[in-house]
């Protein structure tokens, strides 16, 4: 009698517990969808055709929505089993055999789902919804079939088990319509009355749902708060549906659900993911090609292979298949004649503020036009489209410079759409990398960064995390820019989520009252470690260097921008102590370029003056942009060096002044190389640059679009009086 109020109370508790990770409008949508799904399940079946589209409507990726929908169905299946206790009597042996088949099928289906590429499942999901809707529409005919048929007793065994195995695979892969398909299979291959078949269906559905949910909990990202909301509101809807079952025509309701699901599927198959019109039509990544690069001198950066001359590289399916002499490849493989050319691992940047690339050209010697003043003036004006094109602008420059992976260090996160725009830009560029979620620019020191937004990002982009082309981190302000309570909570949240941490540690030359980082204090508090990247570290003392070495903490330096604004880090000291050091662009807003070879030479030159000639070698400098950088971003198993089985991330340098008389390629490239020598850039098996030219039309467009958007932002800032109308020095 008091079940409905009690259920409402449960929903209220759940909403109160998850309000920080779900928008109010999304909560209402999920509560309504769960209630409607529970009601139609009680009346006609097909509730998942309401809950799954609702999860998609919240912006959840299809795979995450699918696994969450599966988890949400388990309590309902359990309730059905309790309700059918009487009808289950005497079915123990049959239920056991069929449950084993269901579990095996569910594991296979769940595993298949998690190896399906996200883009493929996104395309499949509308068709799966329409297929489930067709099953629901055909339910009356199927029911007549199984109630009128009289299967032979002999067919109850192997045929029924095989059919249930197939149904289990379907249920593990896509839960919508599972009950209808299962009841049809049971009715066709088992001789029993409808109520007993429904009871067996409840047990088998529970087995499929529970096993799939356990699999997804271990290997995927279930949105548990959404699953709880759907489950509890579904229970309430089921109670209401059962109460009104005699008053409503189930056939009419069934057709309404079919129509709604069909419209949802049609809409999701024709509309892109949440993007503005300015961000559409940019998904023009070249296909992965099967290539053989002939007779190249290959600097593998692999400790076992070293540098090998006049060898071939066979690339296929985005992977290096083989490196060797006179490789045999399938007929039709595209050949690149690279005799006399140098092949290197693709360069990797470990700290780059892509969002402020639109500030390019605005930083110069005029008073008020220094980097920090310009950044503070520009930061509030960027909208999602601006974040997208700013990132694409920078990433296009990255490809031209030979980068195949970039760390997008975003310290101006202003909302979820801005985050999504950044990540989408990275995916559209074809490059590998990491997105580090930070606070918005000029966030007060005593305010927490948007940790809820961080968690929501991880749910929205869980599929991309599994595909390993982009990973995620947290960009913190640290103890020198925030009070202890703030930085400790932010640090703890990052580690609770298992995310790598990065923070600036500089002299804060443009921020009055900001003290230098105390790295030994961070070590004492247990805040350093291999999961932490310190950026700049220009002030590092001997004790700081020792603390970094003891804890395995990583350092990223940006030599060109550091000399302009804060001094230069003791790179040679870091290397002698065993501190892993990598290179970064920092920002294209300042007078610098996406030039990894130039960064290497700058380190060599400055350290020769500071610590003595030879204190940093060319090989060490190259490692800072390849192997060490890959380890910093956690991609050393797939990138940073070249050997069979690793991803096809590499660059080809045409012959030129980078070749020394003795043919030694490392010093030739580091001492004499130039970005103009980089003829070809291949990332993840896709040729992004060839003949010195960007292969993506959208990448070429990004440079012009970036300049256009910069001028628009300047005009807005001038109209608001935060930017001078004349800035010429």
Res 640 pLDDT > 70: yes
What is the average pLDDT across 75-101?
79
What is the average pLDDT across 203-208?
87
Res 102 pLDDT > 60: yes
Report residue 250's pLDDT band, with 50, 70 and 90 as the boundaries: low
Res 724 pLDDT > 70: no
Maximum average pLDDT range among 86-90, 248-252, 677-681, 717-721: 677-681
Per residue in 432-441, pLDDT tens?
Answer: 999 999 999 9
Q: At what angle do helices 250-270 and 24-43 cross, to 10 degrees?
A: 140
Q: Is 152 exposed, middle or buried (0-12, 13-18, 19+ CB in 10 A)?
A: exposed
What is the pLDDT at residue 252?
55
Contacts of 67 (CB under 8 A, 6+ apart): 113, 212, 213, 216, 220, 221, 222
What is the pLDDT at residue 40?
61
What is the average pLDDT across 64-78?
85
Angle at 226 between CA 225 and CA 229, to 5 degrees: 90
Per residue in 344-382, pLDDT tens?
Answer: 999 999 999 999 999 888 888 777 788 888 888 888 889
Per residue in 489-525, pLDDT tens?
Answer: 999 999 999 999 999 987 653 455 555 578 888 899 8
What is the pLDDT at residue 269?
45
Q: Which CATH architecture has domain 347-634+642-715?
A: Alpha-Beta Barrel (3.20)
What is the pLDDT at residue 274?
42
> Cα 447 to the chain's mean position, in Å?
27
Q: Is 707 exposed, middle or buried (0-12, 13-18, 19+ CB in 10 A)?
A: middle
Res 538 pLDDT > 80: yes
Q: Express as a percent the part of the chain with pLDDT over 70.
A: 78
What is the pLDDT at residue 149?
52
Q: Which residue has the higher pLDDT, 539 or 603?
A: 603
What is the average pLDDT across 295-319?
96
Average pLDDT value over all residues in the chain: 82
Q: Which residue has the higher pLDDT, 695 or 17?
A: 695
What is the pLDDT at residue 155?
43
| Residue 480 DSSP code | T
d(CA 165, CA 418): 44
Angle at 93 between CA 87 and CA 94, to 5 degrees: 70
Per residue in 128-160, pLDDT tens?
Answer: 667 656 755 665 665 565 555 554 443 446 777
User: Is the separation of the CB atoms in 300 and 643 below 8 Å?
Assistant: yes
CB-side exposure of 682: number of CA atoms within 13 Å? 31
What is the pLDDT at residue 659?
72
Report residue 53's pLDDT band, with 50, 70 and 90 as the boundaries: confident
What is the pLDDT at residue 399?
98
Q: Which residue has the higher pLDDT, 73 or 292?
A: 292
Segments making up each domain of the chain, as ranges: 3-270, 347-634+642-715
User: Is the separation of the CB atoms in 292 and 315 below 8 Å?
Assistant: yes
Per residue in 384-420, pLDDT tens?
Answer: 999 999 999 999 999 999 999 999 999 999 999 999 9
Q: Which residue has the higher pLDDT, 325 or 674?
A: 325
Res 13 pLDDT > 50: no
d(CA 375, CA 411): 11
Burial 571-585 (b: 16+ CB within 10 A, else e): bbbbbebebbbbbbb
What is the pLDDT at residue 9?
39
What is the pLDDT at residue 335?
97
What is the average pLDDT across 286-296?
95
What is the pLDDT at residue 154?
35
What is the pLDDT at residue 18?
41
Helix (H) or strand (E) holding 82: helix 62-83
Res 284 pLDDT > 90: no
What is the pLDDT at residue 10?
43
Q: Three-state DSSP class for 296? A: strand
Q: Is 720 exposed, middle or buried (0-12, 13-18, 19+ CB in 10 A)?
A: exposed
DSSP string, 274-295: S--GGGTT---PPPP--EEEEE
């Amino acid at each position: 009698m008091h079940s409905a109020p009690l259920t409402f109370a449960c929903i209220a508790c759940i909403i109160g517990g998850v309000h920080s990770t779900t928008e109010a409008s999304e909560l209402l949508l999920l509560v309504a969808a769960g209630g409607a799904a529970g009601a139609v399940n009680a009346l006609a079946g097909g509730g998942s055709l309401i809950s799954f589209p609702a999860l998609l409507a919240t912006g959840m990726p299809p795979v995450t929505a699918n696994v969450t929908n599966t988890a949400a169905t388990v309590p309902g299946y359990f309730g059905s089993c309790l309700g059918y206790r009487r009808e289950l009597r005497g079915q123990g042996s049959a239920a056991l055999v069929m449950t084993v088949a269901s579990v095996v099928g569910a594991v296979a289906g769940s595993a298949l789902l998690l190896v399906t590429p996200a883009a493929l499942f996104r395309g499949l999901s509308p068709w799966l919804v329409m297929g489930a809707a067709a099953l629901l529409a055909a339910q009356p005919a199927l029911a007549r079939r199984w109630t009128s048929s009289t299967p032979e007793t002999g067919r109850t065994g192997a045929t029924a088990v095989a059919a249930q195995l197939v149904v289990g695979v379907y249920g593990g892969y896509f839960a919508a319509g599972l009950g209808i398909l299962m009841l049809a299979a049971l009715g066709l291959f088992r001789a029993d009355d409808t109520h007993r078949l429904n009871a067996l269906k409840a047990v088998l559905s529970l087995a499929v749902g529970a096993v799939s949910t356990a699999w997804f909990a271990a290997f995927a990202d279930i949105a548990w708060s959404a699953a709880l909301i759907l489950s509890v509101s579904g229970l309430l809807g089921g109670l209401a549906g059962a109460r009104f079952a005699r008053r409503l025509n189930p056939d009419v309701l069934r057709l309404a659900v079919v129509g709604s699901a069909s419209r949802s599927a049609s809409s999701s198959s024709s509309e892109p993911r949440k993007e503005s019109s300015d961000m559409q039509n940019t998904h023009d990544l070249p296909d992965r090609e099967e290539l053989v690069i002939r007779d190249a001198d290959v600097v593998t950066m692999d400790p076992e292979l070293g540098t090998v001359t006049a060898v071939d590289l066979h690339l296929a399916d985005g992977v290096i298949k083989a490196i060797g002499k006179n490789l045999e490849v399938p007929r039709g493989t595209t050949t690149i004649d690279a005799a006399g050319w140098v092949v290197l691992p693709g360069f990797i940047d470990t700290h780059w503020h892509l969002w402020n690339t639109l500030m390019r050209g605005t930083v110069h010697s005029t008073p008020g036009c220094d980097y920090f003043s310009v950044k503070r003036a520009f930061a509030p004006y960027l909208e999602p489209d601006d974040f997208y094109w700013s990132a694409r602008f920078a990433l296009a420059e990255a490809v031209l410079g030979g980068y195949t992976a970039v760390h997008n260090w975003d310290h101006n996160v202003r909302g979820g759409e801005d985050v999504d725009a950044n990540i989408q830009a990275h995916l559209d560029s074809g490059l590998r990398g990491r997105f580090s979620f930070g606070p918005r620019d000029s966030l007060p020191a005593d305010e927490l960064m948007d940790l809820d937004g961080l968690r929501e990002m991880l749910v929205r982009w869980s599929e991309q995390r599994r595909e390993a082309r982009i990973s995620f981190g947290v960009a913190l302000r640290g103890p020198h820019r925030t009070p202890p309570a703030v930085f400790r909570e932010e640090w703890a949240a990052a580690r609770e989520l298992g995310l790598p941490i990065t923070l600036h540690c500089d002299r804060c030359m443009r921020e009055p009252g900001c003290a230098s980082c105390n790295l030994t204090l961070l070590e004492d508090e247990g805040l350093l470690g291999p999961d932490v990247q310190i950026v700049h570290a220009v002030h590092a003392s001997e004790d700081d260097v020792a603390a970094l070495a003891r804890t395995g903490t990583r350092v990223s330096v940006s030599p060109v921008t550091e000399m302009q604004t804060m001094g230069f880090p003791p790179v040679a000291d870091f290397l002698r102590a065993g501190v892993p050091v990598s290179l970064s662009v920092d920002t294209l807003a300042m007078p610098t370029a996406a030039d990894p070879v130039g960064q290497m030479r700058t380190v060599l030159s400055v350290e020769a003056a500071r610590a003595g000639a030879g204190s940093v070698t060319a090989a060490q400098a190259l490692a800072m942009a390849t192997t060490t950088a890959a380890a910093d971003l956690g991609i050393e198993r797939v990138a940073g060096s070249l050997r069979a089985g690793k991803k096809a991330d590499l660059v080809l340098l045409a012959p030129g002044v980078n070749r020394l008389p003795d043919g030694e390629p490392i010093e030739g490239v580091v001492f004499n190389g130039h970005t103009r020598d980089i003829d070809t850039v291949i990332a993840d098996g896709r040729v992004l640059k060839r003949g010195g030219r960007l292969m993506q039309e959208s990448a070429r467009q990004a440079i012009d679009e970036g300049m256009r958007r910069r001028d628009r932002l300047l005009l807005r800032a001038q109209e608001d009086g935060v930017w001078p109308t004349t800035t010429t020095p």
